[in-house]
Structure 1
Amino acid sequence: MANSRFEYVKQFERENLLLPETYLIIRVDGKGFHKFSQEYEFEKPNDLRALQVMNRAAMNLVKQFPDIQLAYGDSDEYSFLLRRSCTLFERREMKLITTFASFMSVNYMFEWNKEFPEKPIRSERLPTFDARAVVYPTSTLIRDYFSWRQVDCHINNLYNTTYWNLILKAGMTGKEAENRLIGTVSSDKNEILFKEFQINYNNEPEIYKKGTIIVREYNDWKTLSNEVKEEELSDRQKQRLEKQRKKADIVECHVDIIKDEFWEKRPWLLQ
């Protein structure tokens, strides 16, 4: 940038650098997606094709940034876990959240128009996302965070599945369905689904009940085990690690991330 007498205005810029050697989670949320889903007539209670659009947009982001170890998504939300020693954008908060939000917005529209050529995105109702960055100091907090998001997915999906069956199959209005579900617990909703609609909630697709996990898989994670002291590595060693991250398999699955098994099989996530 050329120097000029006006350059003093840069003194007013402020950067929030996120703490080093802490886990970073960038959570991206759809903005106004309730109206968006109405405008583009999402199937209820779940629109599988729309979920796949969201998942592919998130997958594109994971492929773009090797620092992302894990992503978890449900509905119009995705949480991305960045490794503790990552220095993406020098850990500048505004740079991270604006990049992730804009990347998801653009990729969602791109993937939507591929999946739904019969109803392309219109300028009067565009898919937009915002983002926030949260730092967590311990692996326990990371596990609790993703457990919280998966439990939230289950609670919301059970409610929505019951709510929309009351409307679509029992002929209730939205207000009537809401009143019917006031004060109910999970067992009550399961009973309504089974007795009135012959739906065993346990047999519902896992993608709806558990959300979507996108994880970077390594055949030999031990080659990355020294990453915690990455600042001590030579430039050549760092480049080798970066290549390994880029070559890692990126897998989509719909499994339990609350229990230990998922994490024990992937020690590199919380190393």
Structure 2
Amino acid sequence: MAAIFTVAVLEEFQDIAFAYGVSDEFSFVLKNKSELYKRQSSKIISAVVSFFTSTYMMRWGDFFPHKKLKYPPSFDGRAVCYPTSDILLDYLAWRQVDCHINNQYNTCFWMLVKSGKSKIQAQDYLKGTQTREKNELLSQQFGIEYNSLPVIFRMGSSVFRLKEGVTEENGEVSGKQVEAEVGVDYSNIIDQCFWQQHPHILSFS
């Protein structure tokens, strides 16, 4: 659901080149030559977070038409300046690794609770376990292959503009630029193949 609100943020702020998130925690990447709000971090944060929050409020009914909000949602934010694209990609890779770790743990935890263990027992059971052990738990005790779980939960959501193209008029290329559509993807962004397939994202043009 939050990915839909993130799409709205990218449509509103053209200087945002890419966003990655899990649940309601999203990281927004601005073009490195952006002059949005004269690069004042406090203004950028307040504008993006407030727009995300207001969109959340306005679109809530689209997803939960029969469930009213019990209290107004609020989100926080912070700005970090990464000096190179490599460091930025390392950060995004860490976010996706964290997505996998949390999803795997939570899947195991709630399956143990559903099987009859208390929350404390489930926590104790999982304490110190590694990826392989969690995968074996899911497979052997619950018949779940981790890699078969929905990719959105294992990979998180990447939001970015599709590369601009040109329009055709009467079968001929007009040369007129098409406004880039914002899409949501659930790819492995740790692998360089993703960035090679979408080089325009980090071109920061």
SS at match of 1:251: strand
Please report how far the alpha carbon of residue 220 of structure 1 lies from its aligned counterpart in structure 2 after TM superposition: 5.0
Runs ≥4 in structure 1, deviation > 6 angstroms? Answer: none
What does the per-residue CA deviation read over 1:169-217, in whole Å, with 9 as the maximum and x for residues that have no partner?
x111110100000010011111111111100001001000000011112
Query: Which of 1 and 2 has greater Rg?
Result: 1
Question: What pairs up with 1:165-184 in 2 under 5 angstroms?
Answer: 165-168=111-114, 170-184=115-129
Aligned to 1:64: 12
Please report how far the alpha carbon of residue 113 of structure 1 lies from its aligned counterpart in structure 2 after TM superposition: 2.0
Aligned to 2:138: 193
Aligned with residue 95 of structure 2, among 122, 146, 149:
149
Distance 1:71 1:188 in 2: 32
Aligned to 2:48: 100
Is 2:66 the partner of 1:118?
A: yes
Stretches of structure 1 that go unaligned for 5 or more consecutive residues are: 1-51, 222-242
What does the per-residue CA deviation read over 1:54-97, in whole Å, with 9 as the maximum and x for residues that have no partner?
11111110110111111111012001111111111111111011
Indicate the RMSD between aligned Cα atoms, in angstroms: 1.6
Is 2:151 the partner of 1:206?
A: yes
What does the per-residue CA deviation read over 1:106-146, in whole Å, with 9 as the maximum and x for residues that have no partner?
11122222210111112xx3211011111111110111011
Distance 2:193 2:165 in 1: 18
Distance 2:189 2:108 in 1: 24
Distance 1:164 1:219 in 2: 43
Please report how far the alpha carbon of residue 269 of structure 1 lies from its aligned counterpart in structure 2 after TM superposition: 2.5
SS at match of 2:193: helix
What does the per-residue CA deviation read over 1:24-58, in whole Å, with 9 as the maximum and x for residues that have no partner?
xxxxxxxxxxxxxxxxxxxxxxxxxxxx2x11111
Mapped contact 1:113–1:121 kept (Cα < 8 A): no
Which amino acid letter does the alignment assign opposite residue 59 of structure 1?
Answer: V
TM-score by length of structure 2 reads: 0.90
TM-score by length of structure 1 reads: 0.69
Is 2:21 the partner of 1:84?
A: no
Stretches of structure 2 that go unaligned for 5 or more consecutive residues are: 167-175
Is 2:106 the partner of 1:160?
A: yes
